[in-house]
Every structure is written in C-alpha cells, then in structure tokens.
C-alpha cells in the first residue's frame, strides 16, 4: 500500500497552514458561543427558540420566535417515559416527535426562506433539541448555527451584561409626587427623540398599589430582565437616558440591583404641579378602577394596617357616592404624598438639587413643551 497522502487531503491540510507555518483556525459555522451571539444578534436573520411554549413564555431572547420541537404535553410525556420506563424508550419517542415537529416547521414556517437564510437556534442548554433542528436546517442548505449553552448561558450572560450596561450609562431621573405625569413626560421625551427607559411599560405596572394595568399581566422576572437588557443595549452611552424614579419593586418585579444603584446616583428632574391638576390627571388615568368600585375597594383594603378601619370606611363611602375628585384628593393627601416624602430624599439623594419643571397643567401640550425644554437644555 502506498504511503503517499491523497492529493485532496494534502491540499486541505495545506490550505489550513498559514505561510508562517502556524495552523489556520477555521471558524465554527455550526455553533456560536454566547458572547459572539449577543454581540452579533443583528447578523442573524432569525433567532429560533425550540423549547416548549411554556418555557418560551417564561423568558426568551427578545425578538425570538418559538418553533418548539416538543410542545408542553410532549415534553412531559417524554420526561415521564424517561423516569418511569427507560432512557431508550424516551429517546425513541422523543426522536419521532421531534422529527415530526421539525417537518411541520419546515413546511409551514421556513419554506419561504432563501438559501442565504441564517438563523440562530437555541434550546435549554444547547443540547439535543437545538442540535436536531440545527442539523436538519444545515442539511437543507441554510446557514443555521446553534447557541452553545443554550438559554442557560443566555440568562447568565444578560444578567452580567445588564449590570455592565447600567454602569456605562448616565441617567436623568424624572421625580415627582403621585399624579405628576412622570410616565407621560417620558412618552413625550421619547417622541422628541430622547433616550428613554420606561420600566413601568416593560413591567406592565405603574408601580403602586393601584398600578395593575387592565388586561396586561406582568411578565415573569426573567422576561422583565431580558426586556430591560434589550432596551439598555440599544442606548448610546454618550447621551443621557431618561427614567422615572422607581422603587426596587414594580408590582411583583425587582429592578436589577446595579441598575437601581445607577438610577439613584443620577441627576434628578422634579415635576411640580398643583394638587387640582394632579387630581384631574389621575381621575382620567384610572377610569378602569372608577368603573369597578368593588375592585377599587378591595385594593384599598390592603391599607388598613397603615390607616385603620375608619379611614378605609371613609374612602369606601366616597367610592359608593362616586365622589372621585374628593377620593383622589384624600388618597394623595393622606397616603401617597406622605409616602413619597418619606422615601424620595433617601432613595434619590440628587433630588435636593433637582432641576424643577413647574407645570400648571398636565395636558399633552404642556408635557410636550416640557420635554422640548429639557431637550433644548442639552439633555437629549
């Protein structure tokens, strides 16, 4: 047998040796590590989460699409077989289900994509589920890559990156007592081209006892973290980011510790508005509670420990009488304003030197003018 190396093999080896005789490292085109993936997400045509719909609902890479290779029930079925019968039987069933589901995605969700399509695929830990999908898509001819470490690597990485991004940004914090239209000012700033981090919008909650939004449940803590990371990574570090003065919790969700620290160190802007304007604003903003007096009463009942039965009964009587202006006036004077004064100066030390926006009305026009003045003052 000849010891000569076949010419096609020798030519491949030669092509991987650089002129200085050091091996040329061929990039891995089937897998992508987490740092490269997060740095280059925009270079992928799609991010495909092949986990079950339940896993996807709890959290996923923002912008990802869910193309499960096992649905929730199938995942339970395979897992039960794995524990109660054998690994072999579970893998046999799992393979059949995965193949069937991938075929459905190929026919109904991927068929229109050109040969140049380049998706990033991930599952829980970068194992069999994403591996199966990635292998088949590459066999078709697409430039599919699987995420090394899967969702677990993503979750760990974005928490680290979220803190690092927060540390790199300069925040301008919108402060003011309840009903001073802080969130609406953020909206106008965003419309004027400012960088805005609207945590309450991401959390689907207004951050108080009455902060629930009708028909909009809060995301999971993990999904909230993903949404905040996604927002932060899009900001220009040379420009300020406007954010509302939040507490550590927004509804049931926790604001990331490093982000909270950076917000509290930020320069403050305080809205000053007269009480009648605030009351008018809140009555208009919380119509969903005014139309459901029983729900409103139940929410206020949680304040009995702070205010006692007699005061809660007085508020309930105002609800029954439909005296909304008086109710909101009392809630501000007796509960919300004192709570704000107790916490704000401690949590936001920059409040003492805050730039003050004096707004006699909290209309869209007045908030637009205030946003414009902030932008023109070099805060854009």
Just list the catalytic residues. Answer: 123
- DSSP one-letter string for 35-85: HHHHHTGGGSSEEEE-S-HHHHHH---TT-EE--SS-HHHHHHHHHHHHHT
Q: What is the dihedral of CA 184, 185, 190, 196, to 10 degrees?
A: -100
Say how far apart CA 378 and CA 380 lie, in whole Å.
Answer: 6
The residue with tokens 């199966």 is: 132
Instruction: Give the closest residue to 172 by CA, choosing from 359, 310, 355.
Output: 355
| DSSP track, 11-29 | HHHHHTB-TTSPBPPPP-S
CA atoms within 13 A on the CB side of 242: 25
Q: Give which of 257, 225, 220 is closest to 154, Cα–Cα.
A: 225
Q: Which residues lie across from 121 on neighbouring strands?
A: 48, 146
């Amino acid at each position: 047998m000849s010891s000569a190396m076949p010419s096609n093999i020798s030519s491949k080896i030669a092509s991987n040796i650089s002129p200085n005789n050091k091996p040329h490292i061929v990039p891995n085109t089937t897998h992508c590590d987490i740092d490269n993936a997060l740095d280059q997400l925009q270079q992928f045509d799609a991010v495909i989460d092949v986990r079950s719909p339940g896993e996807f609902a709890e959290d996923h890479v923002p912008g990802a699409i869910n193309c499960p290779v096992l649905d929730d029930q199938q995942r339970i079925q395979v897992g039960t077989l794995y524990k109660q019968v054998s690994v072999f039987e579970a893998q046999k069933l799992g393979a059949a289900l995965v193949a069937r589901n991938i075929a459905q995605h190929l026919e109904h969700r991927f068929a229109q994509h050109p040969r140049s399509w380049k998706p990033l695929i991930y599952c829980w830990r970068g194992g069999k589920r994403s591996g199966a999908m990635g292998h088949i898509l590459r066999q078709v001819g697409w430039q599919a890559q699987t995420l090394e470490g899967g969702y677990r690597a993503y979750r760990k990485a974005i928490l680290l990156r979220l803190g690092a991004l927060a540390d790199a940004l300069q925040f301008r914090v919108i402060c003011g007592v309840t009903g001073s239209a802080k969130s609406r000012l953020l909206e106008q700033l965003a419309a004027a081209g400012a960088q805005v981090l609207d945590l309450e919008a991401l959390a689907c909650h207004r951050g108080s006892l009455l902060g629930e939004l009708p028909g909009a449940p809060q995301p999971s803590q993990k999904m909230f973290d993903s949404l905040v990371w996604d927002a932060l990574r899009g900001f220009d570090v040379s420009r300020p980011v406007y954010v509302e003065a939040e507490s550590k919790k927004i509804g049931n969700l926790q604001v990331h510790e490093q982000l909270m620290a950076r917000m509290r160190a930020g320069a403050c802007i305080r809205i000053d508005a007269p009480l009648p304007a605030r009351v008018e604003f809140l009555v208009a903003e919380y119509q969903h509670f005014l139309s459901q007096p029983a729900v409103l009463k139940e929410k206020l009942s949680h304040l009995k420990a702070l205010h006692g039965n007699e005061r809660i009964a007085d508020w309930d009587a105002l609800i029954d009488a439909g005296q909304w202006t008086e109710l909101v006036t009392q809630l501000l004077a007796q509960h919300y304003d004192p709570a704000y004064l107790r916490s704000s100066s401690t949590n936001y030390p920059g409040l003492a030197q805050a730039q003050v926006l004096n707004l006699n009305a909290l209309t869209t026009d007045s908030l637009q003018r205030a946003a414009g003045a902030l932008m023109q003052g070099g805060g854009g």
